[in-house]
């Protein structure tokens, strides 16, 4: 058991006891209890929202340089000591050490971008038919409710928390119960040390009841949710009925399209990374591999070889590239999808087995287009592969999914691929890279069942975490005929 300032606590006006007691933090690789966190109840939520609403106006009124300075200090602290996060990401979320280091870097980058975001132009001069100044300006919404997932817990919390704060909002964050430290409390400690004034960030580890209350809270006008499409639909229904600003970043079943002229060695390497990184527990994971039928066997053999070489085990051992599936329920779902797809006619080329929560990287070929592993988001280290005869057919298959998050096109002719991108229905298209990519300075979001209500990244955060206010100014009071 490790004792920290937040051990057994929530973060709301400092680290304090939660109304629902405490909960152990379990390492999925070993089942060991590695810490304890507080558990919030709805009374804690009400207090947090009141405190956030009270603190937010003064924060928004500060010179932008002061908000930027907090983000810059937090970036410097984490850049100097990434272990602030990696020492929790590895055991708590089952991250391989490389993935944990990469995630800490992404959080540092997000903080740096947040410092820059605070200095962005926040409006524009508009033309008017009248002799007046007409301005459209972004103003902070007030209190932003953030609900974040377990898989990349630190960055998927901070890509909402940081821009919301930088733009003058307060935040109430409910991290996934499985990653309350790396997805919440460790981040609160970092920002508090960087000088974030009290009351602006509240971290409430809790169950679904508190999450539902946060979505429905009358004094939280904006909800930013990252998670499954099923949960996103429920949140959208509730928030929409309450006329809230809602941002939903949801699931994906992302396609990697290998064109006939692609280098198969390089394509298989990209495909393996896209499907197996962090045990496939990423919304951008490559979930569908489309390969020319006459090159499918070569690609599948190389992808299976890559899968067989990957070491899987306790991620505290740096020799292991992949760690555990997050919990037993998710492992059973992954294994059932693999089994039912093999029963539907797919061929198992690698993996398909597990020891405890450690699932072997798995390659399925000749996968029917109506099989579970092809149609559904797997969220496990599984690479379904199928062949196509024409590029036209392949584009139709890519677009046939209900999801539209990320698509990869691998080719020797990147400008031809750029033309194909015009026909692809997805929030991101990567030519000659795999599907997993995200940068704080780039707009990120999905289409169709992969997301709604806005994007993350760069200046598009203004639309997501602000309202637009029209302001006009005239020298004299306008006179009217009555």
Q: Which residues are catalytic, by number? A: 249, 283
CA distances 76 to 27, 98, 115, 149, 279, Å, are 28, 20, 11, 25, 30
Angle in degrees, 0-180, between the axes of helices 97-117 and 64-80, rounded to the nearest 10 = 160
Nearest-10 Cα torsion for 180, 184, 187, 192: -120
Per-residue DSSP letter, 478 = P
Q: Identify the three-state secondary structure at position 475.
A: coil
447-448/33-38 β-pairing? unpaired
133-140/358-359 β-pairing? unpaired
Give the C-alpha separation, 197 to 203, whole Å. 14
Place of tokens 């597990």: 354
Neighbours of 226 (CB within 10 A): 26
At 370, list the tokens. 């109506």
Q: What residues form DSSP beta bridges with 223? A: 145, 246
| Nearest Cα to Cα of residue 252 among 82, 395, 447 | 447
| Residues near 234 by beta carbon (within 8 Å), at least 6 away in sequence | none
Q: Taking the CA atoms of the chain, what radius of gyration do you get in angstroms? A: 23
Strands (E), 180-301: 201-203, 222-226, 245-249, 254-258, 286-292
User: Hey, CA dihedral for 230, 232, 238, 241, is it positive or negative?
Assistant: negative
Place of tokens 């960055």: 155
Give the C-alpha separation, 225 to 239, whole Å. 11
């Amino acid at each position: 058991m490790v004792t920290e300032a937040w051990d057994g606590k929530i973060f709301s006006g400092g680290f304090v006891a939660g109304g629902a007691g405490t909960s152990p933090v379990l390492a999925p690789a070993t089942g060991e209890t590695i810490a304890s966190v507080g558990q919030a109840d709805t009374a804690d939520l009400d207090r947090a929202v009141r405190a956030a609403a009270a603190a937010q106006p003064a924060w928004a009124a500060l010179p932008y340089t002061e908000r930027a300075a907090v983000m810059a200090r937090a970036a410097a602290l984490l850049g100097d000591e990434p272990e602030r996060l990696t020492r929790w990401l590895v055991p708590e979320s089952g991250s391989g050490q490389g993935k944990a280091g990469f995630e800490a870097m992404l959080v540092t980058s997000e903080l740096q971008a947040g410092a820059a975001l605070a200095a962005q132009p926040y409006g524009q001069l508009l033309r008017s038919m009248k002799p007046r100044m007409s301005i459209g300006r972004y103003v902070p919404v007030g209190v932003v409710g953030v609900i974040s997932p377990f898989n990349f817990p630190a960055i998927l919390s901070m890509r909402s928390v940081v821009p919301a704060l930088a733009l003058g909002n307060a935040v109430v964050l409910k991290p996934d119960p499985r990653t309350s430290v790396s997805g919440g409390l460790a981040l609160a400690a970092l920002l508090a040390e960087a000088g974030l004034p009290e009351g602006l960030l509240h971290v409430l580890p809790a169950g679904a009841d508190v999450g539902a209350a946060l979505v429905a809270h009358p004094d939280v006008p904006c909800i930013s949710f990252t998670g499954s499409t099923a949960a996103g639909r429920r949140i959208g229904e509730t928030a929409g009925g309450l006329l809230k600003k809602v941002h939903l970043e949801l699931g994906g079943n992302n396609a990697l399209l290998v064109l006939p002229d692609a280098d198969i060695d390089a394509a298989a390497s990209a495909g393996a990374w896209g499907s197996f990184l962090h045990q496939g527990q990423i919304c951008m994971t490559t979930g569908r591999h489309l390969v020319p039928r006459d090159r499918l066997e070569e690609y599948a053999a190389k992808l299976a070889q890559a899968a067989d070489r990957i070491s899987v085990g306790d991620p505290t051992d740096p020799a292991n590239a992949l760690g555990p599936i997050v919990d037993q329920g998710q492992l059973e779902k992954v294994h059932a999808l693999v089994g039912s797809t093999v029963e539907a006619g797919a061929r198992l080329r690698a993996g398909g087995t597990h020891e405890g929560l450690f699932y072997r990287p798995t390659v399925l070929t000749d996968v029917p287009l109506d099989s579970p592993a092809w149609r559904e988001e797997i969220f496990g280290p599984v690479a379904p592969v199928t062949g196509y005869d024409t590029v036209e057919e392949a584009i139709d298959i890519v677009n046939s999914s209900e999801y539209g998050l990320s698509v990869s096109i691998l080719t020797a002719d990147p400008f031809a691929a750029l033309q194909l991108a015009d026909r692809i229905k997805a929030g991101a298209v990567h030519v000659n890279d795999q599907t997993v990519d995200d940068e704080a300075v780039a707009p990120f979001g999905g289409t169709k069942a992969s997301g709604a209500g806005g994007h993350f990244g760069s200046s598009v955060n203004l639309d997501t975490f602000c309202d637009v206010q029209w302001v006009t100014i005239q020298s004299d009071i306008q006179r009217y005929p009555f």
